[in-house]
Chains A and B, each alone.
Chain A
Amino acid sequence: MYTETTHDAAHGEHHDHGPAKGLMRWVTTTNHKDIGTLYLWLAFIMLLYGGSMAMIIRLELFQPGLQWVEPHFFNQMTTMHGLVMVFGAIMPAFVGLANWLVPIMIGAPDMALPRMNNWSFWILPFAFTMLASTTFMEGGAPAFGWTFYAPLSTTFAPDTTDFFIFAVHLMGISSVMGAINIIATILNMRAPGMTLMKMPLFVWTWLITAYLLIAVMPVLAGAVTMMLTDRHFGTSFFDAAGGGDPVMFQHIFWFFGHPEVYIMILPAFGIISAIIPTFARKPLFGYSSMVYATASIAILSFMVWAHHMFTTGMPVAGELYFMYATILISVPTGVKVFNWVTTMWKGSMTFETPMLWALGFIVMFTIGGFSGLMLGVAPVDTQYHDTYFVVAHFHYVLVTGALYSIIAAFYYWVPKWTGHMYDEKLGKIHFWWSTIAVNVLFFPQHFVGLAGMPRRIPDYSLQFAEFNMISSIGGFAFGLAQVFFLYIVIKTIKGGEKASAQVWEGATGLEFEHLPSPPPYHSFTEAPPVK
């Protein structure tokens, strides 16, 4: 199917240089595949780091009473867990996938701005080292929640908060640079014939995500800058004493924060839209409606931020507007789920590991969507708000949603990346182990939340004991499953059955039709033909 070998032979003289040798290859690389790999490894390390903090949280919550950590340290754990998972695991993983996949999906030789690409990655290890180092400083790591509401994060926070602010600035700069690169690549470097409406949905969702990133990461930067000047330079943006308003912090934060949660799920939609048709051996149902639904979700995401703030004392008119806008999002999201189910309908399905993760995504993301709809109904949200019901909701969309799609993407594309098939039996064990564990972990949290357990507490009353113990057991099992995943990843990189160029019987797209597995270090130096 592919014609790359002949290209290689023809253009061998001036293009056939491989990667540099040794460690410097990774430090100086401008190759999109290398940078994609770096991002994915960083995300994995952060997943294990954030995960180990989750283990400490679940250990302390295993039974009532304070057995393992102090409340102040517990708050540091919940805060750092959130920050690391959002900014360190999920977002870099998606950027890594974009780096690896966008050029080979649109027939481009590399990213549009390869040097900036190197920079946007290498900022991150410094940002996270700085953030993580606060744990060992006097005053400890940030302990005000990943949402860092003022004035707890300004007047009442320890000096280490300044490191947190600087780290957030660096992450923001990295994300914005990465996003600009992705947009420039998609808009300027598509192979002839690859029109916008022929692009794979992963490329489409990333294009929209990248626009969201450049629109909202600077707002977050603005918010932390205001925090910084409030803390040190005598301004009072969030301090009522000087005419400011702490609730305004929440408005600015969630103006960033709500689009941010879509930044973490839109690329997942693209991944699932690639995997389901492959294993149903049937084209994706409603391609154009998928594109429009993604765009409408992105636009709506700017208009619903205050649904995180129904208990701050908004006027009724505001609450009504934000309720209507919020539940409206379930329409385009529903369209996506219906399209996936219809793609499977009358297909010819097989259930290799990537398909299992994708199916798991659809079911559990939909459960997270249901609880999201419930949370959107403003009057009842006054009861759900800031309880474990919310914790269950966003872990269903972020763990069994975003993370599941990332793992699905790994199994789906790793044969393409490495040329080795992963071990199918281990992959399936990984899926069933994780899926049972994750439901034991998060489903009971709906119950304790409804029964009245607030989130972010290190200890709880005895009525919540049984479910918390179950949840912790699920948590430990899920954590262990991801260590097992690390083993699978290393095993696959080191060797395995050789993968064909197409890898999957039903796979389509430039990366499967025109490139060998693994692809050459420099691929598509000449644009492939697009049908």
Chain B
Amino acid sequence: MGVLEDTLDGALASSEAVAAYVAAQEQKDQLRFLTCGSVDDGKSTLIGRLLYDTKLIFEDQLAALERDSKKHGTVGEDIDLALLVDGLEAEREQGITIDVAYRFFATDKRKFIVADTPGHEQYTRNMATGASTADLAVLLVDARHGLQVQTRRHAFIASLLGIRHVVLAVNKIDLVDYSEERFDEIRKDFETFASGFDFESLVAIPMSARFGDNVTAKGGNMDWFTGPTLLEHLETIEVGEHELEAPFRFPVQWVNRPNLDFRGYSGTIASGRVAVGDEIVVAGPAKTSRIKQIIAPSGEVEEARAGEAVTLTLQDEIDISRGDLLSAPSARPDVADQMAAHLIWMSEDALLPGRSYLLKIGAKTVNATVTEIKHNINVNTFEHVAGKTLDLNEIAFCNLSLSSDVAFDPYEANRTTGSFILIDRMTNQTVGAGMVWFALRRATNIHWQALDVDRKARADKMGQQPAVLWFTGLSGSGKSTIASLVEKRLHAEGRHTYTLDGDNVRHGLNRDLGFTDADRVENIRRVGEVAKLMADAGLITLVSFISPFRSERRMARDLMGEGEFIEVFVDTPIEECQKRDPKGLYAKAEAGEIKNFTGIDSPYEAPENPELRIHNVGRPPEEVADEIVAYLRARGFLSVLGMDGDGI
């Protein structure tokens, strides 16, 4: 088993024998699994034991380990196997595993990639990360303590991430005197509990990672246990290949065009098989063609299968680009711009419904907003609870709305075409991981009504170019005063205008909204949509809202046509606003009478690149209004159809 020390000189005496050995190794397959359990369940020790027993630890590493054991070890004079695994400085110092670590070992039958993930609730995201690529999960429990809240949580997350095979490693069995009764009790508890999850296989093994019993070799003290050791089980379990039996799916990653004669589509086959001559369909536009050539890493082949990275050419010239999904015509994916999905939140900044995020699915990236949190899920009890936002490490079931149609499958049917990540548009952080539950049909039933009189026709009639002047700034900065003066000047010139004012809108359209972050996002989303309708109607629209968050101003900007959105940052320092305090609000906020007041206990994110930045301290608002009108004139908003801006 493992590294062939004992037989090596005999078996590998000649180069031919080595070549044969390597050929055999090439047939070896791969199993990816994750280990989870709390710090004290001995997870790192178990992995250290697997590496040690399969001789993946080299002499110099062992020497380093002995040094480290004396310095940081927790097992007295013995070598602390956990130190092999806890890589980062902070972890060695704190004795905890804070991130996913990937470990590798191999036997003659398989190569193993182990995702070692932390167990605490605050590391749910790390566990989900490790689980996303795993075929199997090893859940550790301490035999003394039995099933814990976290054991249940880990089983739930493994199940949610689509892991179908579970090993319950009942560790530290030496500390309960190798008791068969205790082991049976824990096993039965777990089987009862896990019957609600759809695991294909569930095997419980009593072991002592510290002493190696039942990890790679039978433990001398457990004659009563007739099952396999952990390693035997990992070497032989058939994890099947659901993706091989699923219908053909191929997300196009790269269009390969070395010259005019060759047009190939490169990508990794997400599921199913494909052969030369097969018919395929481009999901969405539903254009079909047949496979002409398959170029695999080994050269041209007749057939390829799930997991292979290939380049396909087609018999017909059809327009396909990165992000498109090629599929079997007999079993097509969903195509929709709305979906219901489970979402795991991975950022310190809470998910806000209505905020625009980037969603990456396959090779496609679109804008997406969570339109509704249907319920949050308590990861310890699996209860559904109502929620308005989603915090770090929380899981919810949500509806999402996408900026365009996307092809996908339910995650249950396809882990590749049913998974996505959400990216924050400002920080570029990966903030969420999603698993599609189903497509929402609403999208297909509400069609856009094509209108014969379009926005250009309306704007032409008014002899102007629509624009959205978006005034942002702190309360008391002078936004509304300036906006009002600008509107008067435009009106005097014969321009068609409308002003949306924060306070006024909150009396009507948005009177159901408060001042939490989630409500502020929704407030701006609605105003953005209204401003868009106004611009569609041909109007020069002035929006005067504090609008404290960059993301929402960005979302509003994206709603408008190119160049239509003019961000006017009324950059008045907070000290000045507090001094002015026209509505007495700062005084109240400081007295604690108003909560979530921008600038006091709720943040204001200043624009980074506004079209106009207004410094109005010591300047009459009339002068500022003139400056803004001059800007519009210089940019051509006030001279359309050859008419001069001075009047109609």
A, B co-complexed: no
